[in-house]
Chains A and B, each alone.
Chain A
Amino acid sequence: MVFRGTAARTAVALGGTALLVASLAGCSGGLGGSSAGGGGSTSDTSSGKLTSNVTIKLLAGGNDPVSIATAKQYAAGFHKAEPKVTVTVDTRPGGTDGDNLIKTRLSTGEMDDVFLYNSGSLFQALHPDQTLQPLTNEPWVKNITKDFKATVSTSKGTYGAPAGTTFAGGIMYNKKVYEKLHLSIPTSWDEFIANSKKIKAAGITPVLQTYGDTWTSQLFVLGSYANISASDPQWATKYTDNDPSAKYSKMPALEGFEHTAQIHQLGLANKDYASLTNVNGLKELAEGKAAQYPMIAVVIGNVLQSDPSKVNDIGVFPIPADNASDTHLTIWEPGGAYIPKTTTGQKLIAAKKFVAWLNSPAGCDIQNKTGLPSGPYAISQCKVPSTAPALVADTQKYIDQGKSGVALEFLSPIKGPNLEKILIQVGSGISSAAQGAKLYDDDVKKQAQQLGLKAWG
């Protein structure tokens, strides 16, 4: 072990020199990646050869069982495909603590060679041009979807490969309950409320709210962004530019706050909404004790753990808009696999091979087996298997009909940090929808100012 490590280090030193020469000779450039500064000397290593054994570190997407298991499977699978490279797995907290850990490690130059992290606004906050290796010229980049590419790119280049599938955010519902009560999928908010009242009359919880996990409160707002963009395609741009018409205290964005409040006022939520957790809520949904749950479909993996036989009882439909023609399904892009600037030489070659492998047939296979696919892939090499959960087909249907849109966090860098708490206030009757929306507009302003966006002063 000891001498293998030493050998690897020597090889890295030697390889690094060779690489420097190679890249000076053939800095083929291409799409502006070369202008990214310090990393230029190593930007063309994809054609590089591994000259000896290398160990790289992979930072998992969290410290929950699913994230850890997924990262370990990736590590083992890649080692099989590329025996010269050993991948060790690190874990990190999820949520905002994870955000801070990632930023700290990037800014101190101690990031693992590959890390899995969100795309979209959280990715943009990492200052990718300064901290990440550009992957613009990697061969797989041409296969990723336009929507995903936009969420892992800056004006200077592309920095991430998809890890996982896209997924819908909408109303997850129990198909058996819908069948039993002869309900049809609602297309407008009024129909949704009518359905919910019938469900309540049948003694089943109509709408699950799980404030025991505070983030779950946000779905009526975040999950209906496709409805907003259907009625105003330019909303995200206006919102980023501080246009007074694109505010949450105004229609159409106010709808999400009003819907959150209405579910509470009409008594359509479960009694234990204030303390129920996401996992237990999903259990009630799978078992038919509750019928509908505004949620992101990626959590279906938990149902596989708790009620494996009921995974296909759960479907998804868009959060209905007040106006039925605006009802669209909101789609989240997968997270990405990124390489920091601090990874160089042989490790960089190995890291790039790893990222490319992730979306190769073998990598896709492992993605399909470990993380349950919860929607279509964002890269053409990977295909969703026929055994995927039923809600994946539901999601695909809306995408094929053109009745879908990307979530706001992939279109604008601004997301106020207090949205979940504000919506808990609204959804528990502590404050009104209008008060909550106003408060969130202030929260958005604060975030935009912190980001240094000019339009916000």
Chain B
Amino acid sequence: MTTATTTSALKPAAALTKNGGAPARRKIKSFYPSWFYIPAIALYVVFFAVPTFASFYFALTRWTLFDNTFIGFGNFVEFFQDPQLISGFIHTFEYGFATSAAKVVIGFLLALLLTGPVIARGYLRAVIFFPVLVSTIGVGIVFKNLLDPFHGMVNGILGAVGLPQPGWFTDPKLALWSIAAVDIWKGVGIATLIFMAGIVAIPQEYFEAARMDGAGSWKILRTITLPLSRPAMATVIILSLIGGLRSFDLIWATTGGGPGFTSDVIASVIYKEYQAGFYGLSTAGNVVLFLVVTVIMVPISYFLNRKEVEL
């Protein structure tokens, strides 16, 4: 039962990493008349193409919502002069890479556990996935209360057993990492699920053959499970890194980028500019964020997929 559902869950993951595959793309012939595409094209143009190009235009204006003045690249110049920008970028990378790495490692270990012979496996698989289903803002508010330095439950327990009670979200040195920890807790379920699908899809014969040849558990893990779940790993890395780099909602719900600017990421810097009524400037920021994520993700995605082909 669970195997069936997880295997089917693998398909979209695999499709995503395989990127459609060049030869497959050429084979596609349209079975439909052209008018059949009109509704989809209309939706695409109205909701995706127009806003995208409009945003490229508004990024070049000083825009008050009531009127806009064309100012060329002024917004970009100003955006890059923002004193919070550099620290925002550093925090974004720290946060993105830390959460992604943790999700890969923890997700893989949990997937090993949950594809192995454990009691109540179905139940445990469901439990690890629950946080994914909860609204991020809800999670943020709950953790803000749990981790309140003076009235929160976590520090209450730490205090009761005589441990130090850090200001999780209020200590400038700790705030970003506390949020990252919550993000990992919340997001590791999806990574686990993808890894489980990858591991379950490895034909049992390989394991049996390896065991016949006298391979130990460590060797099986290193030479069979790990390499053969690389497609899953590529998916997890790409999804979690994109998610981490443009992460915003959890940060906003817990610290609002604070204290001061110590947990500000690019997305929250942009959001605050929008809040301040700097619509053109924040649109320029979004264009920059889009380009930065693209510049990072395209080579990573290319690298991961190439590895997969070589296998």
A residues with CB within 8 A of B:
96-97, 99-100, 103-104, 106-107, 125, 127, 130-131, 211, 214, 271-272, 274-275, 417-418, 421-422, 424-425, 428, 430-431, 439, 442, 446-447, 449-450, 452
Q: Which residues of B contact A97 (CB under 8 A)?
A: 275
Binds A, one of B11-19, B103-111, B184-192, B253-261: B253-261
Q: Which residues of A contact B257 (CB under 8 A)?
A: 421
- Within the complex, which residue of B62, B66, B276 is in contact with A127, where a contact is CB–CB below 8 Å? B66
A127/B149 contact (C-beta < 8 A), A417-B272, A421-B257, A428-B172 known = no
30 residue pairs from A and B, CB less than 8 Å apart: A96-B275, A100-B274, A103-B64, A103-B65, A103-B66, A103-B277, A107-B66, A125-B277, A127-B66, A127-B67, A211-B170, A214-B258, A274-B170, A275-B149, A275-B170, A417-B272, A417-B276, A417-B277, A418-B84, A418-B276, A421-B261, A424-B260, A425-B259, A425-B260, A428-B259, A430-B259, A439-B83, A442-B83, A452-B62, A452-B69
Tell me how far the C-beta of B93 lies from the nearest C-beta in chain A, rounded to whole angstroms. Answer: 21
Q: Which residues of A contact B66 (CB under 8 A)?
A: 103, 106-107, 127, 130-131
Question: Which B residue sits closest to A131, measured CB to CB?
Answer: B66
Q: In the complex the two chains form, is A428's CB within 8 Å of B277's CB?
A: no
Asked if B262 is at the interface of the complex by the 8 Å CB criterion, the answer is: yes
Q: In the complex the two chains form, is A430's CB within 8 Å of B276's CB?
A: no
Q: In the complex the two chains form, is A428's CB within 8 Å of B260's CB?
A: yes
Q: In the complex the two chains form, is B258's CB within 8 Å of A421's CB?
A: yes
Tell me how far the C-beta of A124 lies from the nearest C-beta in chain B, rounded to whole angstroms. Answer: 11
- Within the complex, which residue of A107, A272, A424, A449 is in contact with B65, where a contact is CB–CB below 8 Å? A107
Q: Which residues of B contact A442 (CB under 8 A)?
A: 83
B residues with CB within 8 A of A:
62, 64-67, 69, 78, 82-84, 148-150, 167, 169-172, 256-262, 272-278, 281
- Within the complex, which residue of B167, B169, B172 is in contact with A430, where a contact is CB–CB below 8 Å? B172
Q: How far is the CA of A23 from the CA of B258 in the complex (A)?
A: 54
Q: Which residues of A contact B262 (CB under 8 A)?
A: 430
Shortest 9 CB-CB contacts between residues of A and residues of B = A417-B276, A274-B170, A425-B260, A96-B275, A107-B65, A127-B66, A272-B150, A103-B65, A424-B260
Q: In the complex the two chains form, is A100's CB within 8 Å of B275's CB?
A: yes
Q: How far is the CA of A450 from the CA of B282 in the complex (A)?
A: 12
- Within the complex, which residue of A274, A418, A439 is in contact with B259, where a contact is CB–CB below 8 Å? A274
| 15 further contact pairs, Cβ within 8 A, besides A99-B277, A106-B66, A430-B172 | A99-B275, A103-B277, A274-B170, A275-B169, A275-B170, A417-B278, A421-B258, A425-B260, A430-B259, A439-B83, A446-B82, A449-B78, A450-B62, A450-B281, A452-B69
Q: Which residues of B contact A418 (CB under 8 A)?
A: 84, 272, 276
Q: Which residues of B contact A106 (CB under 8 A)?
A: 66
Q: In the complex the two chains form, is A127's CB within 8 Å of B260's CB?
A: no
Q: Which residues of B contact A131 (CB under 8 A)?
A: 66
A425/B261 contact (C-beta < 8 A), A100-B275, A103-B277, A274-B170 known = yes
Q: How far is the CA of A99 from the CA of B276 in the complex (A)?
A: 9
Q: How far is the CA of A417 from the CA of B272 in the complex (A)?
A: 8
Tell me how far the C-beta of A270 lies from the nearest C-beta in chain B, rounded to whole angstroms. Answer: 10
Q: Which residues of A contact B167 (CB under 8 A)?
A: 274-275
Determine chain B's interface SS by DSSP, over half rule: loop
Tell me how far the C-beta of A382 lies from the nearest C-beta in chain B, rounded to whole angstroms. Answer: 32
Q: How far is the CA of A408 from the CA of B64 in the complex (A)?
A: 22
Q: Which residues of B contact A271 (CB under 8 A)?
A: 150
Tell me how far the C-beta of B137 lies from the nearest C-beta in chain A, rounded to whole angstroms. Answer: 13
Q: In the complex the two chains form, is A450's CB within 8 Å of B260's CB?
A: no
Q: In the complex the two chains form, is B258's CB within 8 Å of A96's CB?
A: no
Question: Which A residue sits closest to B152, measured CB to CB?
Answer: A275
Q: Which residues of A contact B277 (CB under 8 A)?
A: 99-100, 103, 125, 417, 450
Q: Which residues of A contact B69 (CB under 8 A)?
A: 452
Q: Which residues of B contact A214 (CB under 8 A)?
A: 256, 258
Question: Which A residue sits closest to B144, measured CB to CB?
Answer: A275
Question: Which B residue sits closest to A125, measured CB to CB?
Answer: B277
Q: Which residues of A contact B276 (CB under 8 A)?
A: 96, 417-418, 447, 450
Q: How far is the CA of A417 from the CA of B281 in the complex (A)?
A: 13
Q: Which residues of A contact B278 (CB under 8 A)?
A: 417, 446, 450
Tell me how far the C-beta of B261 lies from the nearest C-beta in chain A, rounded to whole angstroms. Answer: 6
Q: How far is the CA of A27 from the CA of B57 in the complex (A)?
A: 42
A211/B259 contact (C-beta < 8 A), A275-B148, A417-B272, A418-B272 known = yes
Tell me how far the C-beta of A273 lies from the nearest C-beta in chain B, rounded to whole angstroms. Answer: 9
Tell me how far the C-beta of A356 lies from the nearest C-beta in chain B, rounded to whole angstroms. Answer: 28
Tell me how far the C-beta of B80 lies from the nearest C-beta in chain A, rounded to whole angstroms. Answer: 13
Tell me how far the C-beta of B300 lies from the nearest C-beta in chain A, rounded to whole angstroms. Answer: 33
Q: Which residues of B contact A428 (CB under 8 A)?
A: 172, 259-260
Question: Which B residue sits closest to A276, measured CB to CB?
Answer: B150
Question: Which A residue sits closest to B150, measured CB to CB?
Answer: A272
Q: Which residues of A contact B171 (CB under 8 A)?
A: 274
Q: How far is the CA of A446 from the CA of B261 in the complex (A)?
A: 17
Q: Which residues of B contact A449 (CB under 8 A)?
A: 78
- Within the complex, which residue of B78, B83, B169, B275 is in contact with A417, where a contact is CB–CB below 8 Å? B275
| Max count, chain B CB within 10 A of own CB: residue among A104, A446, A447 | A446
Tell me how far the C-beta of A125 lies from the nearest C-beta in chain B, rounded to whole angstroms. Answer: 6
Q: How far is the CA of A12 from the CA of B260 in the complex (A)?
A: 52
Tell me how far the C-beta of A268 lies from the nearest C-beta in chain B, rounded to whole angstroms. Answer: 18
Q: Which residues of A contact B261 (CB under 8 A)?
A: 421, 425
Q: Which residues of B contact A130 (CB under 8 A)?
A: 66
| Max count, chain A CB within 10 A of own CB: residue among B78, B167, B261 | B261
Tell me how far the C-beta of A426 lies from the nearest C-beta in chain B, rounded to whole angstroms. Answer: 8
Q: How far is the CA of A450 from the CA of B281 in the complex (A)?
A: 9
Q: Which residues of B contact A422 (CB under 8 A)?
A: 260
